[in-house]
Amino acid sequence: MQAVERYSTGAIILHWLIALLLAGEIALGFAMPKDASGFAEYQLHKSIGITILALSLVRLGWRVTHPRPASLEGGATGVLAGAVHLGFYVFMIAMPLTGWALVSTDPLDVPTILYGVVPLPHLPLGEGLNNLAKNAHEWLAWGGVALFVLHVAGALRHHFLLNDNLLARMTFDGKAGRALGAGGAIVAVGLITLFSVGGDAPEESTRPEQAEVALADARVVGEASGDVKDDESEVETPVEEEATPTEDVDEAEAEPETAAAEPSSWAIQPGGSLRFTATNSGAALNGSFANWSGDIAMDPEAPQSAEITIRVDLASATLGDATQDNMLRGGDFFDTASFPQAVWRSTAVRRVSGNRYEADGTLSLKGVSRSQRITFTLQGSGNRRSVQGSATIDRNAFSVGTGSSAEGLAGAVEVSFAFDATS
Ligand code: HEM
Ligand code: HEM
């Protein structure tokens, strides 16, 4: 075999590191649930995406300052290979930038905290660019997949058909090189396993228990609102009466000391917001609730013992237009005369990582009680915290928006909240 002229060590490390991250990032992008239940996956996706951006800028700098081996091939295929490489550089930088643009212009204004540690500021772009950024992000992803197919096909063609040892140019030389490659592969497999296990395990383990508690809760809520469907007295013993939740909690959590500790109560401070966004024939309808309140008992260090209840005065919903607000109060929407209040009560709260939490609970709205997940972050320390969070609600499940006036209205309604709380 002829002597191989290789890429520099830095170029090889960056090539494979970025290739690995990109493959995982595209898969995660397509796989993550596109609602608030995917909050943790979104945050991970954004963190890896910004890491790819940083590494790609380093790689671009490296490419400009370090010589690369002369091309093996001229002619049309040589030009195609060059075009694919150039396309990859554009992709590696444009992809994270469009992702960053799409979260910066999202009306929901969800904060990004990279790896749960570093807050990522929004880019100064208007909400009007949201759709463009979203489409660009999706189409670029498909463009990346096409480049990948061409690139790998080219590499395999060289390896198997032309037999010109091109692959060796992008691999390390000798024993040390093979050890580095093997080490990299082990780290890669470890990381992929970690991501996939980390993503699925908590959800699965809480499902059955959560469904049970949600059922019990649904009956309690029905009673409290005078909507008595049954009068068995065992319903009187529910979860919320429990001051020391040891029995309920210790099946799921193996931390008796933290579970037994009384979580502190937090008072919601004035000035917070509770907003909702619905999409009507593609256009965003932004509204808010003026009156809502809540009881929060939670130790941020031991969220499993938290008990949170939020009550929303539905008649205080406003879209900023008197006609539409009247419609919201009417029978097709909230029917506030019969169902003045929506109540969300937590059933299982857990920390996703750092200051990010996920809370399963039961939402009772317009006579229907269903499980509903909320995600939120806590900023600050001591006895004052800033809470920001969101949820995606399936309005059809609660029969909100039934008549012809709701035609064109998307089923998913995004709800976001932000407030300060003190203990
Ligand atoms: C998403 C994944 C990948 C990306 C983004 C990517 C990107 C790139 C880029 C931009 C170059 C040009 C390097 C430069 O001149 O600066 C390159 C070269 C190369 N890549 Fe990849 N690559 C990926 C995956 C792969 C895979 C899976 C293989 C092997 C099957 C591979 C094999 C090679 C080889 C052999 C070269 C050197 C080509 C030459 O000597 O002209 N790449 N890659
Ligand atoms: C190279 C880096 C990246 C790659 C390869 C990538 C890939 C993807 C893919 C394949 C999707 C699914 C598209 C769809 O189903 O419509 C997606 C969605 C998304 N990405 Fe990225 N992404 C990257 C970086 C980022 C960054 C840096 C951010 C934000 C800071 C971001 C935010 C998002 C969001 C919010 C969505 C969901 C969009 C929606 O609601 O449809 N991405 N990404």
Per-residue pLDDT at 261: 61
Highest mean pLDDT of the ranges 164-178, 201-215, 241-255, 332-346: 332-346
Give, using CA atoms, the residue closest to atom 30 of ligand 1: 152
Q: What is the mean pLDDT of the chain?
A: 80
pLDDT band at 173 (very low <50, low <70, confident <90, very high): confident
Average pLDDT on 48-62 reads 97
Residue 314 has pLDDT above 50, yes or no: yes
Pocket test for ligand 2, best of 134, 137, 390 (most atoms within 8 A of CB): 137
For residue 248, the model assigns a pLDDT of 42
Of 239, 304, 306, nearest to 266 by C-alpha is 306
Percent of the chain with pLDDT over 70: 79
Q: pLDDT of 347-367, one tens digit each?
A: 999 998 888 999 999 899 998
CA of 56 to the centre of ligand 2 (A): 16
pLDDT (mean) for 63-80? 89
Q: What type of residue is 309?
A: T
**Higher model confidence: residue 179 or residue 196?**
179
The atom of ligand 1 lying closest to the CA of 89 is: 10
What's the pLDDT at 323?
65
Q: Is the pLDDT of residue 220 over 60?
A: no
Domains of the chain with bracketed CATH: 9-171 (1.20.950), 217-422 (2.40.128.110)
Q: Is the pLDDT of residue 292 over 70?
A: yes
Q: Token pair for residue 129?
A: 């660019």
pLDDT digits (tens, 9 = 90+) for 107-127: 877 888 999 889 999 999 988
CA angle 122, 127, 131 (to 5 degrees): 105
Q: Quick one: average pLDDT of 39-48? A: 91
Listed in sequence order, the residues at least 6 apart from 275 whose beta carbon sits closer than 8 Å to its beta carbon are 286, 287, 288, 289, 415, 416, 417
Could you tell which of 85, 90, 167 is best to mutate to test the pocket of ligand 1, judged by most ligand atoms within 8 Å of the CB? Answer: 85
Residue 191: predicted pLDDT: 65
Q: Which atom of ligand 1 is nearest to the CA of 169?
A: 40
- Segment 189-216 shows an average pLDDT of 44
| CA 120 to ligand 2: nearest atom | 30
pLDDT digits (tens, 9 = 90+) for 128-137: 999 999 999 9
pLDDT of residue 176: 66
Atom of ligand 2 lying closest to residue 97 CA: 27
Nearest ligand, CA 80:
1
Q: What percent of the chain has pLDDT over 90?
A: 43
For residues 228-255, average pLDDT: 38
| pLDDT higher than 50, residue 238 | no
Protein residue with its CA nearest to atom 26 in ligand 2: 99
Ligand 1 centroid to residue 48 C-alpha, Å: 20
Q: Give distance in angstroms: CA of 29 to centre of ligand 2.
A: 5
pLDDT tens digits, residue range 7-29?
999 999 999 999 999 999 999 99
365-391 per-position pLDDT tens digit: 998 888 899 999 998 888 889 899 999
Q: Are 108 and 122 in contact, with CB atoms under 8 Å apart?
A: no
User: Which residues touch 153 (CB under 8 Å, ≥6 apart)?
Assistant: none
Q: Which helix (DSSP H) or strand (DSSP E) does residue 156 occupy?
A: helix 130-156
Residues with CB under 6 A from ligand 2: 22, 25-26, 29-30, 34, 42, 45-46, 49-50, 52, 95-96, 99-100, 102-103, 112, 134, 137-138, 141
Tens-digit pLDDT profile for residues 146-162: 999 999 999 999 989 98
Q: What distance in angstroms lies between residue 337's CA and the mean position of ligand 2's atoms? A: 42
> Is any ligand 1 atom within 6 A of the Cβ of residue 88?
yes
